[in-house]
Structure 1
Amino acid sequence: MTPRLRTALVLLLAALALAAPASGLVVENADLTPAEVNLLFAMREYTLTYNEYADRLPGWVTGPFADETVNLYVTSPDGVLVMGITFHDKKVIQFDAKGCPDPIVTVTTDVATVEAVMVSDRPFDTFRAAMQNGTATIEGNNLLGMLRTGMVLFGFRVMDILGM
């Protein structure tokens, strides 16, 4: 082996050793607390469950946002974590820890509500209860978002009136 090749090999191995994480997952966004990182990855994992469940949700809930982006603001004692969610054909296709530019709506809630929805056997009902008790809100960010949000909120009211 020539000295030049040996030097190149040593530099390559050193670069790989320095680049490889010592213990598992590395998150580069230093602004996230460990609790927020855990919540972020739990939400990403829950996306698989949501996508299986999405077809069972009422069309008036999923339809207005079927091919849109939504920002989820999750409040905690540490601050506010913004998560961008991109939907296509009622399914979550992208999850962004930094939020989405120009989302159609913003959903605001707290960590406890997000966790309750994720572990619930009836996540739609759990979210609806959070809307009723004020721990979750939906706000349209533009005219189309306001109209679509109004349609969803109207549907929730009808369900309440009918006792569903």
Structure 2
Amino acid sequence: MTRPLPAALALLAAAALVASAGGLVVANADLTPAEVNLLFAMREYTLTYNEYADRLPGWVTGPFEDEKVNLHITSPDGVLVIGVTFQDRKIVQFDAKGCPDPMVTVTADNATVREVMTSDRPFAVFRSAMKHGTVTIEGNTLIGTLRAGMVGFGLRVMDLLGL
């Protein structure tokens, strides 16, 4: 797989179990069976993102290079909050109860997360979800707001250029 993935797409993928030097890092893993299934389903996708993260443009991965982000995945059962830790543009850990003081919060519905994960064109699915409001990125700090705006601006420029 050689297709590039945007940083915000990585945030969707952040719900995955992520390999680190010592194995899988999962904090506060008190999850329902459905949540565990979603997390394991996304594991390979996150690992793929990490493999290609260094090749992605800086405007895609740079805003969240060494930050903590909360991912809210909505479903009929409620909201699963995942705290995502990025280090050197890669996802290194998630916390199943969220991060305190995250830079941004990304919200997506369960169906969109699964569609992005299974699509042959995940970037196109993500961009469409952003346009239709099924994925949102909200800054929780001034810097987070600026960085989230940078990602949104980059996506709009790509739309204008027809990329």
Q: 1:123 to 1:57 in 2, by over 3 A?
A: farther
**Greater than 3 Å deviation, 4+ residue runs:** none
Over the matched positions of the two proteins, sequence identity in percent amounts to 76
Structure 2, gaps ≥5 residues long: 1-27
Secondary structure at the counterpart of residue 99 of structure 2: coil
Relative to structure 1, the CA distance from residue 42 to residue 96 in structure 2 (aligned partners, 3 Å threshold; closer, same or farther) is farther
| Distance in 2 separating the partners of 1:114 and 1:79 | 15
Q: Which has the higher contact order (CA 8 A, sep 6+)?
A: 2
TM score, norm. by length of structure 2: 0.77
> SS at the partner of 1:138?
strand
Deviation (angstroms), 1:134: 1.1
Give the alignment of 1:9-158 within 5 angstroms. Answer: 29=30, 32-158=31-157
TM-score, normalization by structure 1: 0.76
Q: 1:132 to 1:56 in 2, by over 3 A?
A: farther
Moved more, 47-56 or 134-143: 47-56
Q: State the structure with more CA Rg.
A: 1
Q: Is the contact made by 2:29 and 2:96 (CA closer than 8 Å) also made in structure 1?
A: no
Paired with 1:102 and 1:123, the residues of 2 have a C-alpha distance of 29
The whole-number CA distance in structure 2 between the counterparts of 1:109 and 1:48 is: 20
Structure 1 residue 118: Cα displacement: 1.4
**What corresponds to 2:18 in structure 1?**
none
- CA-to-partner distance for each residue in 1:118-144, whole Å, 9 max, x for gaps? 122332332122111111000000000
Count of aligned positions: 136
User: Quick check: 1:86–1:94 contact (8 Å CA) kept in 2?
Assistant: yes
Work out the CA distance in 2 between the residues paired with 1:140 and 1:90: 18
Summarize deviations over 1:10-57 as a string: whole Å, max 9, x none: xxxxxxxxxxxxxxxxx962xx33211211222334321111232343
Deviations 1:111-164 (A, max 9, x none): 111111212233233212211111100000000000111111111111111111
Q: Which moved more, 1:150-159 or 1:72-81?
A: 150-159
Unpaired runs of 5+ residues, structure 1, are 1-26
Q: 3-state DSSP class of the match of 2:106?
A: strand
